[in-house]
Structure 1
């Protein structure tokens, strides 16, 4: 039985890159070193080894943008082909893309590899630039459909996502995306690769931003549910960290954590809402955020603007 692995030690990476060079560069007489590029540090790498510990299959994925992931360097040893190893690698890389919030995956495929990627759901989109000046390739695209995602009121959710990106551009740079909304629970996710520090964990400031935006987003959606309008402002926020985030940053806000009344807003009065956002790394709880938000009625917004 074969197992997908992530190279971690220097020795594992050395074997991983050696195999990449042997399979994808040496046949075209390129020197060692040509198998690497500037994306290695921000990529996710996967490999499969045989019972002797020898690398027999590899693949890599990195994010081109908040919505697009790119697969590169999938290779399987000649004597291990025909066992489904390439599809195992591809499945693992696609899972990474979904976790990062990608809505499509692209790859630049050589002619011989095109049937494989087509079998994985990719379609040829256009001709790509040649690789290393020689190898003709085609750009292929696979559009991802969310699995097991609950998205109540998709128009509201899209409006919230667009509001974040338009008014807080750094949220897009951080790869913060609305993952699911059930009416009672809002879950947002962020890209670890876009928020990683020198220790290989997520910046504390990025975790705080993810938490505050999640609380803000939950109130935004609750205003929609109640057919109310107002300006949401963070009044106070405290976060308690337990563990670092090293895998998948997730933020969940449950409606049960909200306290306060929205009714004053209907009478053109501001209201205060308190809530909690739980931060998880995959399925592991790592932090709790408690926030106090004020919602200002539209008239209060206009008066503030005039007084300025």
Structure 2
């Protein structure tokens, strides 16, 4: 249960490693995404966010510049024990606020189809058709930042 949630931008190597450890647990171990696909060429160009419950890292996400004044949200993951408690919403709110501060006017993401309703609840809209990424069905979604 989330008691004292805070989201931090990962500015130190230790924080980035915490983000990567969560991603390995969720995407590589649970969802069987190959590590070679999970860790990609955009790691150093992305802003990584870590959700903490007290001092424990429990969730993550990343944002990177994308086509003009847009930002691409990727690698949103929450440890199993912290799902269904608003953790993903807290991470996404922090990413959205940060994107606005950077002057981004739109967010784009490729949601796993099973998470589509979650992103719709945050104001994202489907754009296009379902496609496979790492063997998992995804759908492109966008949100205008006002």
TM-score by length of 1: 0.44
CA distance, structure 1, for counterparts of residue 9 and residue 99 of structure 2: 15
Moved over 6 A (4+): none
The CA distance in 1 between the partners of 2:46 and 2:137, in whole Å, is: 24
Size of the alignment, in residue pairs?
Answer: 143
1:1-308 aligned at under 5 Å gives the runs 1-51=4-54, 53-127=55-129, 129-132=131-134, 134-145=135-146
Aligned CA distance change for structure 1 residues 137 and 86 (closer, same or farther; 3 Å): same
**Structure 2 unmatched ranges of 5 or more:** none
Over the aligned positions, Cα root-mean-square deviation in angstroms equals 1.7
Q: Deviations over 1:98-149 (max 9, x none)?
A: 12222211111111100110010001111254212x111110111111xxxx
Taking structure 2 as the reference length, what is the TM-score of the superposition? 0.87
The answer for unaligned runs of 5 or more in structure 1 is: 146-308
Distance in 2 separating the partners of 1:55 and 1:30: 21
Q: Secondary structure at the match of 1:107?
A: strand
Query: Does the CA contact (< 8 Å) of 2:22 and 2:78 recur in 1?
Result: no
Structure 1, residues 203-240: CA drift from partner, whole Å, max 9, x if none? xxxxxxxxxxxxxxxxxxxxxxxxxxxxxxxxxxxxxx
Higher Cα Rg, which structure: 1
**Higher RCO (C-alpha under 8 Å, 6+ residues apart):** 2
